[in-house]
Amino acid sequence: MYGVTVYVAALTFDLHLPQARSLKDKRAIIRPIIDGCRNRYHVAAAEVDHQDRWQRACVAVAAVSSTAGHVADVLDGVERVVWSFREIEGVGSERRWLEDE
């Protein structure tokens, strides 16, 4: 789009799931997190790493807007939602902004 400013950022969460004893247990913990972020904040969200490990997950969330402030607000809300789940322990998170070249 000619001359349109678009702001895009991604937030990744590295999670430990101490209660998961199988991949099925893991999915039961991760699915509400991903679905909750998608439904509440209208973001793209997916498990992007550690798919074959029971007690680890990497979840990524991406947001797009016409203002940087809106993207930041959305990802701040997503971060609060993810860290509110008691079944997870946070190993870390990282926010990255897409830069137009």
Are residues 12 and 48 in contact, defined by beta-carbon separation less than 8 angstroms? yes
The residue range of the domain holding 18 is 7-98
pLDDT, tens digit (0-9, with 9 covering 90-100), for 18-65: 999 999 999 999 999 999 999 999 999 999 999 899 999 999 999 999
Q: Taking the model in full, what pTM does it have?
A: 0.87
pLDDT over threshold 70, residue 100: no
**For position 14, what pLDDT does the model report?**
97
**For position 101, what pLDDT does the model report?**
55
Which two tokens mark 81? 């939602």
**For position 4, what pLDDT does the model report?**
80
Total domains, the chain: 1
CATH number, domain with residue 22: 3.30.70.1120
**For position 22, what pLDDT does the model report?**
95
